[in-house]
Structure 1
Amino acid sequence: MKKRLLIVCGLVLSMYQASAQTYEIKSPDGRIQIKINNSDKISWSASLNGNLIIENAEAGMDFSASTDFGINPKVKNHTIKSVSENIHAVISHKDSDIKDQYTELSITYQGNYKLNFRAYNDGAAYQFIDEAKAKREVISEKVSFTFPKGSRSLFPQEESMYSHNERLYIDKALPEIASKDFCSLPVLFTTDKAKVLFTETALIDYPGLFLKGNGNTTLDAIFPKYVLEAVDKNGNSDRVQTIKKEADYIAKASGARAYPWRVFMISDDDRTFVESNLAYQLAKPNVLKNTDWIKPGKVAWDWYNANNIFGVDFKAGLNTETYKYFIDFASKNKIEYVILDEGWTKSTTQILDFNPDIDVKELIRYGKEKGVGIILWVLWKPLDANLLQILETYKSWGAKGIKIDYMQRNDQYMVNSYEQIARECAKLEMLVDFHGAFKPSGLERMYPNVMNYEGVRGNENNKWSDEITPEHTVTIPFIRMAAGPMDFTPGSMINKEPKNFSISFTRPMTLGTRAHQVAMYVVYEAPLQMMCESPSIYYKEQETVDYITQIPTVWDETKVLHGSVGNYIVVARKKADKWFIGGMTDSDARELPIDLSFLGDGSFSMEAYADGSNVDTYAQDYKIDTLKVDKNSKITAKMASGGGWSAIITKN
């Protein structure tokens, strides 16, 4: 009896093994290899140069009705193709023309669904496609992956899914990430042979993904539940809600649709994570017919400096005179926009009328006369309650865009709200800056009037903490910025070495040197790039302002010359016929060689902004040198502790 049972089990095992179907694709350059296995589930692995980087990963979706994805999957057919196309970016965060080159495996399963897998030279991605027409709920999605032993993460740990997603990156061995620990995206993992950055894009009508640990080297996705009822916190908050009731599912689904791309940037060169366009390439294409009205640029910003201007014959503050001073400053320096941040409305919930001390219509008229556009800050909660009337009113006044704050959620309703805001603003030809926001997830390609997202622990934190260190500022380009544009809000002119730094809400200062802040204008991608300092201080630092205002906010081409996560970065970017270089270092002083071979033939003038000789004791010390260079010139970026170096290169 036992012998006969063993034979039957052996036959079942043989049949099971025979039924498993395995596919393999490689990146165009052959370095990245993806293996996909279909047995009782869908699993996959990834290798770089023959080294296993993601040992085992699983993909699937659980629905309330009809077919679940990845449960005993039955393959109907599959195709493998090579693609090489060009994408022209409407708003070019790093490259105006992007080579979209990949190998794609598309598997069609019984049950009316597909799984598309792509292998790129800089990573891999997959996406489920639902071809059914059924209305149902998504109960959960299986996104799980296991790294080799010894792997670590720079983990943007969250305390709650109700979050601005403004995190520090905690260096943890993966077994130290317990089952109660979870993070927002993007997140970086380090193995012995390579690094992996995980994020998502084409996030439409679906909740954002968080990632939790298990006390081992496996991590799993978790999602915010579908919100059934949200109420004001303590019954009267203008911006913070309590999620009072949630469903037992994460999303509602109706009919055929594509789900978000799960994106894995894979490289043994840290520079890849800054150069990669994967999140943009995989996003849904632009849906706007006319984009000529979308104008990136710099913004004179009021909230960071608490409207503290001086040397004037009126009382500074939330009033018309102060904002005319901001507009005059912007106009004199060819800064495209001024933001009216919190305080311009009658109250934070009465946002169709303005503070009696601020004549918004007059400011918009005055700005137009001076060639400066006005962007209006609003809280998400009152905006969501009356979106169309509010936007149409702001447009009728002549506002160029809105900055929305305090979303703090990542559930399906909130993701849909982002898209609705982008769509309605596009109809009115208005720009959008998402503050208090989750990371970029592709909407900025679909609606290029979406200029920026915060979702980063940025300069404003200097008002209440000492956490914005040079180590942090040279970490975020490799992680947070890999997902898309980043509203860090650089431009501080009050720069301090650590022993002289202090926290001040109304007179904030930054750790690191002046040259470190200036270099951010090249290193950090933000089509609407803030100038956070008080105009009165900028007037005293006109030489630095004149340098910064030469730097564009969108780019034709990007090259990362040096890069090491959390240590240093040097980026070269081209706009039209000029090159711009930005370098930043952590607390270690560095000298990095600058290879100018990308310049091509001819002679060039280089204006370099560098740390001054006494920057170790006075962080605001800098020097500007102008010299002749060509593609063979030997240049060194010498950076002090917490320092920076930048250059503007013009052909003679």
Structure 2
Amino acid sequence: MNKVFTLILAFCINLIAQQNYSLFSPDKKIEIKISTDEDVKYSLVKNGKVLIVPSPLSMLINNKTALGINSKAIKTETNSVNTTVSRVIWQKSKIVKENYNELKITFEGNYALTFRAFNEGVAYRFETTMDADIKINSEKFLVSFGGTYSVYFPEEGSFMSHNEQNYKYLQIDSINNKRFCSLPAVVDTKEGTLIGITESDLEDYAGLWLRGTLANSLEGIFPNYVIEENAKNDRDIEPIKRADYIAITKGTRTFPWRIFAITENDGDLITNDLVYLLSKPCQIKDVSWIKPGNVAWDWWNALNIYNVDFRAGVNNNTYKYYIDFASKYGIDYVILDEGWYKLGDVLSQVPEINVPELVEYGKQKGVGIILWVIWKSFDEKLDEALKLYSSWGVKGLKIDFMQRDDQAIVNYYWKTARKAAEYKMLVDYHGAYKPSGLNRTYPNVLTSEGVKGLEHCKWSSDITPEHCVTLPFIRMFAGPMDFTPGAMNNVQVSSFKPMFQQPVSMGTRCQQLAMYVVYESPLQMLADNPTNYYREPECMEFLSQVPSVWEETKVLDAKIADYVLLARKSGDTWFVGGMTDATARQLTIDFSFLDNKNYTAQIWQDGINADRNGNDFKMITKEVNKNTKLEISLAPGGGWVARVFPK
């Protein structure tokens, strides 16, 4: 009898200790299951299909305390939200729908885990409530999949990286633990479902990366805190010794969100807003001065203008030429990239440049000036530089070559975003890690790189049409991307070769034009040189009218790494853009997204010989309405773009 009683008692105690929770998305299609036995584990189910099997999550702090292991839940709280968020700076839309269910589990030991389930995916994060600062030794982030899946894997070779990679399509169980990638990464279940993995609200912590395990799982890794560096030059500040911890941080705080976007429609990754919604709201009181726009950029085209009576290069005559071009076509800004200051001293202009003169010249013509700086040199004279640039009337900064996302560098982003806002300056981060929500908290951060963009055409053959139609589904899922489109010399894949001084793009002219509709960047570059644009008035008719921000986005047809077709709205005008990989395609545009008015579609399409000469395009006009279904043809590496406006 006593043995029976003891067994029953032990069973009851085990039931109390092992608590199981379920959280459903508002539409009930996604379920996240949480168990709190010896380890906290989570799993994910979509439409009854197990996508992620029970996977542990934990955090080791202060060399001894393991959050999420031998845990005891003491309280749960639930919440549901169904509202909308108005963006300060529009990106894919003016208004964002925010609809989720939330479960917060508080544990003994002064910590909690919060889970949110959206119709578009799920996320979780740790929260601590401890008096003193804490040391984060490690964080366990394991994703064990429910099948033999593959992944679009932006493989890296070092934590010191610009995060500019192609996406290798690999079977997950073939990736060993020596191979790792930056984020975002997208997992393909090969049964119609995609899982996008990234993070948001990354602050005072290190960025999340993923490595293989030679099993059907991916594991999080983090760059530990850097305690010794080697300055190889003005820009490459290389870690040579790291601590045995990720971060030392406040004891009372929330940690970054771990995000899983889940969709059975590839195009939904393009419109997914989880990174934005899970970031901190805007911290700038007056945002009236933040102006997105298009930019004439100098570096890609090597200042290689021609048919002028002065020597082209880093000098005021050349930049006045850029300003004149920008003014003629309603382009908002001109960037002065590398060369305007004496390297190592961001306060000293080279003799050939007079920034105040260029600012005044631009002001007369309605064009703002943005200055490029190396992050380290800028940091050394941060307040002096911002005060000086502000006195000149500079509108923004392009901060370059950070190449890291350990805690100190992540904090550098927050510091410079905040300080730039104090001086009413825009920011574009280059040599950067992926966006993780900072652009919502500080909307003066209009865009960032962290993408293998058009500049690589100058020295490699990596910017293929396939790469270009993969980016909207993966890198752009994280946030705005400064790909820098706009090449006016275009060749097919077989004819391409890298050229540093006079670069060309792979694919067609219309693919380059379509990027202005497909790629999101509130600060959008025109990468080629003004002389080349002047000789292309038909293309400039489009580029002078395409906005850099959007009120609404509708994905019409899309398949990751193959093609994309979408429509974006600005005022009463719609812009439609389509791109394909190296395969020629026939696509159908269904204009049912239009209202009851009749519209004129001004169209730029691949020419009949674009499969041989990427420069070939044709400009036509058609009348369309909401009942129109238009068949379009895209050449290999091709594109199609239209401006659709009421009659």
Q: TM bucket by the smaller chain?
A: over 0.9
Choose from 322, 332, 336 the match for 1:336.
332
Secondary structure at 2:533's aligned position in 1?
Answer: helix
Match of 2:598 in 1: 603
Secondary structure at 1:593's aligned position in 2?
Answer: strand
Choose from 396, 401, 410 the match for 1:406.
401
Which is further off, 145-154 or 560-569? 145-154
Q: Residues 215, 5 of structure 1: CA spacing in aligned structure 2 closer, same or farther, 3 A cutoff?
A: farther
Match of 2:269 in 1: 273
Residue type of the partner of 1:511? M
Q: Work out the CA distance in 1 between the residues paired with 2:452 and 2:254.
A: 31
Match of 2:205 in 1: 206
Choose from 163, 166, 169 the match for 1:165.
163
| Displacement of 1:612 | 0.7
Given the alignment of the two structures, is residue 464 of structure 1 paired with residue 470 of structure 2, yes or no?
no
Match of 2:318 in 1: 322
Match of 1:306 in 2: 302
Residue type of the partner of 1:308? N
| Displacement of 1:79 | 2.0
Q: Work out the CA distance in 1 between the residues paired with 2:126 and 2:16.
A: 25
Does the 8 Å CA contact 1:437/1:455 hold for their aligned counterparts?
A: yes
Secondary structure at 2:410's aligned position in 1?
Answer: helix
Q: Residues 101, 369 of structure 1: CA spacing in aligned structure 2 closer, same or farther, 3 A cutoff?
A: same
Q: Work out the CA distance in 2 between the residues paired with 1:13 and 1:379.
A: 63
Q: Work out the CA distance in 2 between the residues paired with 1:568 and 1:498.
A: 17
Which is further off, 216-225 or 478-487? 216-225
Secondary structure at 1:392's aligned position in 2?
Answer: helix
Q: Work out the CA distance in 1 between the residues paired with 2:598 and 2:290.
A: 34
Match of 2:20 in 1: 22
Match of 2:260 in 1: 264
Secondary structure at 2:93's aligned position in 1?
Answer: coil
| Displacement of 1:311 | 0.3
| Displacement of 1:80 | 2.2
| Displacement of 1:8 | 8.2
Secondary structure at 1:477's aligned position in 2?
Answer: helix
Q: Work out the CA distance in 1 between the residues paired with 2:632 and 2:386.
A: 47
Deviations 1:427-449 (A, max 9, x none): 00000000000000000000000
Match of 1:191 in 2: 189
Match of 1:79 in 2: 77
Residue type of the partner of 1:425? A
Given the alignment of the two structures, is residue 297 of structure 1 paired with residue 293 of structure 2, yes or no?
yes
Deviations 1:188-231 (A, max 9, x none): 10113311000000001111111111111111111111111212
Q: Work out the CA distance in 1 between the residues paired with 2:591 and 2:41.
A: 45
Residue type of the partner of 1:202? D
Which is further off, 446-455 or 79-88? 79-88
| Displacement of 1:67 | 4.7
| Displacement of 1:133 | 1.8
Match of 1:88 in 2: 86
Residue type of the partner of 2:356? K
Given the alignment of the two structures, is residue 389 of structure 1 paired with residue 384 of structure 2, yes or no?
yes
Q: Work out the CA distance in 1 between the residues paired with 2:329 and 2:54.
A: 54
| Displacement of 1:60 | 1.4
Q: Work out the CA distance in 2 between the residues paired with 1:13 and 1:308.
A: 78
1:510-521 equivalent positions in 2, closer than 5 A: 510-521=505-516
Structure 1: stretches of 5+ with no match in the other structure: none
Given the alignment of the two structures, is residue 378 of structure 1 paired with residue 337 of structure 2, yes or no?
no
| Displacement of 1:65 | 6.2
| Displacement of 1:556 | 0.7
Q: Percent identity?
A: 47
Secondary structure at 1:68's aligned position in 2?
Answer: strand
Does the 8 Å CA contact 1:489/1:529 hold for their aligned counterparts?
A: yes
| Displacement of 1:26 | 1.0
Residue type of the partner of 1:179? N
Q: Work out the CA distance in 1 between the residues paired with 2:41 and 2:355.
A: 57
Q: Work out the CA distance in 1 between the residues paired with 2:28 and 2:169.
A: 31
Residue type of the partner of 1:322? T
| Displacement of 1:148 | 2.4
Which is further off, 157-166 or 129-138? 129-138
Match of 1:242 in 2: 238
Secondary structure at 1:474's aligned position in 2?
Answer: helix
| Displacement of 1:5 | 12
Deviations 1:3-35 (A, max 9, x none): x99998997577435421111111111111111
| Displacement of 1:66 | 7.7
1:381-530 equivalent positions in 2, closer than 5 A: 381-530=376-525
| Displacement of 1:58 | 2.1
Q: Work out the CA distance in 2 between the residues paired with 1:532 and 1:263.
A: 33
Match of 1:216 in 2: 215
Secondary structure at 2:470's aligned position in 1?
Answer: coil
Secondary structure at 2:472's aligned position in 1?
Answer: coil
Residue type of the partner of 1:594? I
Does the 8 Å CA contact 2:464/2:493 hold for their aligned counterparts?
A: no
Which is further off, 593-602 or 333-342? 593-602
Which is further off, 11-20 or 549-558? 11-20
Match of 2:38 in 1: 40
| Displacement of 1:255 | 3.0
Secondary structure at 1:424's aligned position in 2?
Answer: helix
Residue type of the partner of 2:643? I
Given the alignment of the two structures, is residue 363 of structure 1 paired with residue 361 of structure 2, yes or no?
no
Does the 8 Å CA contact 1:305/1:508 hold for their aligned counterparts?
A: yes
Does the 8 Å CA contact 2:421/2:444 hold for their aligned counterparts?
A: yes
Does the 8 Å CA contact 2:51/2:147 hold for their aligned counterparts?
A: no
| Displacement of 1:503 | 1.2
Q: Work out the CA distance in 1 between the residues paired with 2:169 and 2:332.
A: 39
Does the 8 Å CA contact 1:65/1:136 hold for their aligned counterparts?
A: no
Q: Work out the CA distance in 1 between the residues paired with 2:275 and 2:444.
A: 17
Choose from 175, 178, 182 the match for 1:177.
175
Residue type of the partner of 1:222? I
Match of 1:61 in 2: 59
Which is further off, 472-481 or 636-645? 636-645
Does the 8 Å CA contact 2:160/2:238 hold for their aligned counterparts?
A: no
1:92-171 equivalent positions in 2, closer than 5 A: 92-171=90-169
Q: Residues 511, 6 of structure 1: CA spacing in aligned structure 2 closer, same or farther, 3 A cutoff?
A: farther
Match of 2:617 in 1: 622
Does the 8 Å CA contact 1:515/1:611 hold for their aligned counterparts?
A: yes
Q: Work out the CA distance in 1 between the residues paired with 2:638 and 2:499.
A: 22
Deviations 1:44-65 (A, max 9, x none): 1111111111122222111016
Q: How many residues align?
A: 645
Deviations 1:291-329 (A, max 9, x none): 010000000000000000000011111111111100100
Does the 8 Å CA contact 1:32/1:123 hold for their aligned counterparts?
A: yes
Match of 1:571 in 2: 566
Task: Provide TM-score, normalisation by structure 1.
Answer: 0.97
1:348-359 equivalent positions in 2, closer than 5 A: 348-359=343-354
Does the 8 Å CA contact 1:474/1:585 hold for their aligned counterparts?
A: yes
Secondary structure at 2:66's aligned position in 1?
Answer: coil
| Displacement of 1:75 | 0.9
| Displacement of 1:639 | 0.7
* RMSD over equivalenced CA pairs, Å: 1.6
Does the 8 Å CA contact 2:538/2:619 hold for their aligned counterparts?
A: no
| Displacement of 1:111 | 1.5
Residue type of the partner of 1:344? W
Given the alignment of the two structures, is residue 639 of structure 1 paired with residue 634 of structure 2, yes or no?
yes
Deviations 1:123-152 (A, max 9, x none): 000111112222121001111111123200
Q: Work out the CA distance in 1 between the residues paired with 2:3 and 2:74.
A: 32
Secondary structure at 1:323's aligned position in 2?
Answer: helix
Q: Work out the CA distance in 2 between the residues paired with 1:53 and 1:479.
A: 19
Secondary structure at 2:79's aligned position in 1?
Answer: strand
Residue type of the partner of 1:20? Q
| Displacement of 1:508 | 0.4
